[in-house]
Amino acid sequence: MRVLVTGGAGFIGHNLVKTLLSNQHQVNILDITSSEDSRVKTLVQMGASYYQGDIRDSNSITTAGQDCTHIVHLAAQTSVPASVENPTLNDEINIIGTRNIIDFINSHDIKKIVSASSAAVYGNCDQIPLSEESAGDCLSPYAESKFQNEADLFSLVNDSTEVHVLRFFNVYGPGQGTDSNYAAVIPSFVEKIISGQSPTIFGDGSQSRDFVEVSDVVGLILQILADENDVPNDVYNVATQTETSILELLQLVSKSIKEIDPSIPIPDVNYQGKRSGDIDISLANIAKVKSAFNWQPKHSIEAGIASLVAYELGS
Ligand SMILES: NC(=O)c1ccc[n+]([C@@H]2O[C@H](COP(=O)([O-])OP(=O)(O)OC[C@H]3O[C@@H](n4cnc5c(N)ncnc54)[C@H](O)[C@@H]3O)[C@@H](O)[C@H]2O)c1
């Protein structure tokens, strides 16, 4: 397999590229990030071919996609607030960019594409746990663009290419910045506590999310790329079907920090008003992905947080 990974310099992307390379696959990365970026340099040293470019530019895709047999499409404008501020830019990157990928597929011999969608397409749907068919309450241009991507991939990609769309819930793990738009709460809790500042919780902390560890996500993508069973084109939730409240999450982070360094004091929580638009519960039904790919997330939130805190503390 030679895999084109768009967004391969990003959080999920760089974790995926490392695993693809260590499994002896060849990888071409297309990302707008500078080739001088330290993460990019590491991936190149490990054997990836790096193409700095923009998915809005068809020529960049053609150059980066040369000789590729499979595509994992992760590049996107990923910020909900930025999509509200500048919906035109959001749509250019997410909708036009993805249509450019589709045009590339339709004029090349691509066996499979695995493309990133988001739990954002469920909006405030209250049919918990969230099943794939209950999507569509898109509350932001970001969510709308992800939902449009799904429709475009299923209707525009030629029949000889398999299409698998993954709706990621809150992916967390090593290499995620505090500015990340999904599980940023975890690195931000760690950063605040180890620097002696109060971690911030918006609302009372009872709001819950479905957190999934990045290596479980990467494992699923690898499994889908390698799968020979001709699984029909479809869309899947990628999560653990486990509800974790923000307060529980803070307790887990605090416990893991204490276990590594008991001398670090745990500051009191800085409670702020609930943010408008924050949903109370986000919990996926993952029956479909489990049965289609015999996939099961391996990391409990307890184990995942413990290893992430150990990574952040360098121990
Ligand atoms: N991390 C999560 O919890 C989560 C949840 C739901 C959906 N997703 C989706 O998964 C994918 C990967 O997310 P991530 O967390 O790794 O995000 P990320 O922001 O870390 O990575 C996105 C990458 O895309 C690149 N990029 C942005 N615009 C580009 C452009 N025009 N051309 C080329 N490259 C461009 C960025 O430089 C970055 O490296 C995204 O599509 C995101 O919407 C992620």
Q: What pLDDT score does 240 carry?
A: 98
First to last CA, the chain: 35
Q: What pLDDT score does 275 carry?
A: 78
Question: Which amino acid is it at 225?
Answer: L
Task: Enumerate residues 6+ apart whose C-beta is below 8 A from 96.
Answer: 56
CA of 201 from ligand 1 middle (Å) equals 25
* CATH number, domain 2-173+211-239+284-293: 3.40.50.720
Q: What is the pLDDT of residues 231-284, one digit of tens each?
A: 999 999 999 999 999 999 999 999 999 999 999 999 999 999 987 777 889 999
Radius of gyration of the chain from Cα atoms?
19
Atom of ligand 1 nearest to the CA of 56: 31
The answer to whether the 2-173+211-239+284-293 and 185-207+243-282+299-312 domains have the same CATH topology is no
How much is the average pLDDT of 115-129?
Answer: 96
| Residue of higher predicted confidence among 280 and 301 | 301
28 neighbors 4 (Cβ within 8 angstroms) = yes
| Residue of higher predicted confidence among 314 and 211 | 211
56 neighbors 96 (Cβ within 8 angstroms) = yes
DSSP-assigned letters across all residues of 154-173:
HHHS-TTSEEEEEEE-EEE-
Most confident of 37-46, 169-178, 192-201: 37-46
* CATH number, domain 185-207+243-282+299-312: 3.90.25.10
Residues 50, 51, 142, 182: which is the catalytic one? 142
Ligand 1 pocket residue status of 55, Cβ below 6 Å: yes
Q: What pLDDT score does 12 carry?
A: 96
- Give 212's strand partners: 171
Q: What pLDDT score does 246 carry?
A: 94
How much is the average pLDDT of 35-62?
Answer: 98
Min mean pLDDT across 57-61, 245-249, 273-277, 286-290 is at 273-277
DSSP-assigned letters across all residues of 219-265:
HHHHHHHH--S-PPSEEEEES-S--EEHHHHHHHHHHHHHHH-TTS-
Average pLDDT value for the chain: 94
Q: What pLDDT score does 175 carry?
A: 84
Q: Hey, which of 11, 35, 78 would you mutate to test ligand 1's pocket, going by the most ligand atoms within 8 Å of its Cβ?
A: 78
Catalytic residue check, 51: no
Q: Hey, which of 11, 29, 181 would you mutate to test ligand 1's pocket, going by the most ligand atoms within 8 Å of its Cβ?
A: 11
How much is the average pLDDT of 146-169?
Answer: 98
Q: What is the pLDDT of residues 180-239, one digit of tens each?
A: 555 578 888 998 998 999 999 989 999 999 999 999 999 999 999 999 998 999 999 999
Share of the chain above pLDDT 70, in %: 98
User: Domain limits of the chain?
Assistant: 2-173+211-239+284-293, 185-207+243-282+299-312
| Residue of higher predicted confidence among 181 and 111 | 111
Ligand 1 pocket residue status of 57, Cβ below 6 Å: no
CA of 32 from ligand 1 middle (Å) equals 11
Share of the chain above pLDDT 90, in %: 87
